Amino acid sequence: MRGVVHGPLWSNARFEVTSVDASAGRWTWRVRAGPVRLTIDHEVADGVAAVAIDGPAPVVLAYAPMARLALERLVRSAHG
């Protein structure tokens, strides 16, 4: 799957989902915004969410809080 993520302050990033293991609650995607590229591994299992982000340190540090909020919402919605 490919598409565009719409971020804060009208920022947009192209993404491509590169792998999905639905039974394990894992997926990986690549995100690109201009010259910046990230590879992001997600896992949601037993009400716990985890993320590993590979990319330039300043971008990873800026993105990590947004990823955490999104995963927390995902876990809350999955568990009622």
Instruction: Quickly count: other Cβ atoms within 10 Å of residue 59's Cβ.
Output: 15
The percentage of the chain sitting over the pLDDT mark of 70, rounded to a whole number, equals: 92
Domain count, the chain: 1
Residue range(s) defining the domain that contains residue 71? 2-78
pLDDT of residue 17: 96
Average pLDDT over residues 50-65: 91
Average pLDDT over residues 4-13: 80
Query: Can you say whether residue 10 is alpha, beta or left, with left for phi > 0 and alpha for psi between -120 and 50 degrees?
Result: left
pTM for the whole thing? 0.79
Average pLDDT over residues 26-51: 89
